[in-house]
Amino acid sequence: MLVRKVPVFVPASPWGLRLPQKFLFLLFLSGLVTLCFGALFLLPNSSRLKRLFLAHRTQQPGLEVVAEVAGHPLAREQESPPNPAPAVPAPGEGDASSQASTRRRKVWLRRTHPTGTREMATVARSSGSTALRPQEGGIPFSFDFNAFRSRLRHPVLGTRADESKEPQSLVRAQREKIKEMMQFAWQSYKLYAMGKNELRPLTKDGYEGNMFGGLSGATIIDSLDTLYLMELQEEFQEAKAWVEENFHLNVSGEASLFEVNIRYIGGLLSAFYLTGEEVFRIKAIKLGEKLLPAFNTPTGIPKGVVNFKSGSNRSWGWAMAGSSSILAEFGSLHLEFLHLTELSGNQVFAEKVRNIRKVLRKINKPFGLYPNFLSPVSGNWMQHHVSVGGLGDSFYEYLIKSWLMSAKTDVEAKDMYYEALEAIETYLLNVSPGGLTYIAEWRGGILDHKMGHLACFSGGMIALGAEDAKEEKRAHYRELAAQITKTCHESYARSDTKLGPEAFWFNSGREAVATQLSESYYILRPEVVESYMYLWRQTHDPIYREWGWEVVMALEKYCRTEAGFSGIQDVYSSIPNHDNKQQTFFLAETLKSSCMHAKSCSLEKSLLWWCHVQQRRGKLVRTFWPQQVRVSGPRPLRVALYRSLPRSPPPRLCRSGSLWTLKGME
């Protein structure tokens, strides 16, 4: 009995651990596993982690990729940049500008570490410049709005005085085909989804989504200017009537600041400037006021989501665990918000976006690059992921277009754009072994050699900004724009459907193709045809019209359904599997940009283009000036952009009193 009362020693586990100890051990182990998976998530795509252990197949001798010590300023200054490769001409070409570019690349390759901070480099570059720089507190926005509005508002729909007298031609037939596609897309939406945000053509119903906070009619408002410019008068009046009678703002959901701004406010502003109809102006201002609570943060950097009912805001849960605002979102408000101030007289809109500029000018930028995630609380970058595609794209676009919109007085926007473009060219630009120029993504010093479809807008953007670059770089930027656009065309040409994937890679001997099914879809995006439009307007090279028409034919063959147009899930399958969504930007941007290739540039009609981009990725507010026009205001506002005109010889704008005439075009 005595023996039975003595406890017998039994080990707690094969390792001598008791239950509480095992619990603590497992807790520690689970935390370690979570940390490892989190690190993998923040690093480049898992298929590319081998770059951490194996040398890159195209790595240049003497170059090292050094991981950044997050948050340490000295580490940022000494961080070794990724392997850049400036754009080169197509094989067989070798002009002076390309030779200079090659020399610059060789000089850079001799460096292993940056020689100083980006700020020092910027000072050195600008030391010889005589241009006035913005003051520390930002520059005032000098803008003759009345003159600007008088250029944009036009009482007559369309561009042609008498279409019946226009000679039959291939271009006219193409234009009419695109117009028919727009009519079909609109009529399908009207029949099955009128008032809903988007059409689902396979199920023949409407879709509201959760991005717009209860707002409806996104397709209607986003399509207003396209309907107007294509002279679809009956359809435009239907859309206008719906806005007047059914577009209500007393909604109470959570909305994306970015999406509401570019689709709704951009669409309403476009329609107002084209028609002068007050309903569009009033709705735009009231909707803009509902977005203002998004800016209630310690830094003034808006959060991505605003609650229309409570006035609260929050960041997207996927954006660094809900702690970050997105560069492309808070950086794509400037154009619309300045116009809201001009139309309303309320300075708060302009103050909000000027403050964003102020924060971005002051914050340290790694090698002059703008990462995609910024804390609206601390004003610090949250992760050094840089992309000219998704999460970053339209920030850069809005800079150059803010410069143009201001009649070329917004020097701050101009400086930010060209400084950012130089950093992108230095650290992100690459040329594949097959000679394709692309803009890679940058993650804390490591390059992902891929390019997203969203990044394909950059060809048009660089072409648009080439005219105002330093004289010695203009030809280089035009060539760079052409090379990037060619690469994006290759991503289309190498698919079975002749439509481009969401993202395409340059690795393992494969170039400009998607490497996994999750990146092989096409959702009717406009970026590639938009770049074709810009390059066609600038160069009049017929290849861009040909490429644009190829896209139109592919859309007709693979994306047209019985009840509208739909994206497809795999561009590498000739048997389309539709995603059942007709995106608003298909009508607002893709078809509009496609139509611009087929517009006549006849000087006999005495028409000049002036294109002002009012909305992201090519939503255009435009009017057409006679060859001789009586105007007032600063000369840059008169000249603006006349990119539809031939460049050989370049036209000259001559003045006689208040009459300005283009010479050299006879």
User: By CB neighbour count within 10 A (0-12 exposed, 13-18 middle, 19+ buried), where does 325 fall?
Assistant: buried
- Give me the helix-helix angle, 411-427 and 458-466, nearest 10°: 130
- Is residue 68 flagged as an active site residue? no
- Is residue 527 flagged as an active site residue? yes
Query: Residue 225 in contact with residue 272, Cβ under 8 Å?
Result: no
DSSP, residue by residue, 404-466: HHTTS--HHHHHHHHHHHHHHHHHTEEE-TTS-EEE-EEETTEEE-EEEGGGGGHHHHHHHHH
Query: Residue 372 in contact with residue 328, Cβ under 8 Å?
Result: yes
Q: How far is CA 235 from the centre of its chain?
A: 28
Distance CA 423, CA 262 (A): 27
Q: At 522, which amino acid appears?
A: Y
Longest dimension (CA), the chain: 123
Query: Residue 346 in contact with residue 288, Cβ under 8 Å?
Result: no
**Structure token digits, residue 414:** 């101009």
Catalytic residue (one of 225, 259, 336, 579): 259
User: What is the SS3 assignment for 401?
Assistant: helix
Distance CA 507, CA 519 (A): 15
Q: How far is CA 122 from the centre of its chain?
A: 25
Distance CA 420, CA 414 (A): 10
Q: Give the helix/strand (H/E) hosting 305.
A: strand 305-307
Catalytic residue (one of 419, 479, 502, 530): 502
User: By CB neighbour count within 10 A (0-12 exposed, 13-18 middle, 19+ buried), where does 411 fall?
Assistant: middle
Q: At 214, which amino acid appears?
A: G
Q: Give the helix/strand (H/E) hosting 330.
A: helix 327-330
Q: Give the helix/strand (H/E) hosting 615.
A: strand 607-615
- Is residue 259 flagged as an active site residue? yes
Catalytic residue (one of 79, 225, 254, 393): 393
- Among the listed residues 503, 497, 505, the one whose alpha carbon sits nearest the alpha carbon of residue 449: 505
Q: Give the helix/strand (H/E) hosting 65.
A: none
Query: Residue 609 in contact with residue 641, Cβ under 8 Å?
Result: yes
> Assign residue 92 a region: left if phi > 0, alpha if psi is -120 to 50, beta otherwise?
left
- Is residue 604 flagged as an active site residue? no
Distance CA 374, CA 393 (A): 15
- Among the listed residues 531, 466, 604, the one whose alpha carbon sits nearest the alpha carbon of residue 161: 604
- Catalytic residues, by residue number, are 259, 393, 502, 527
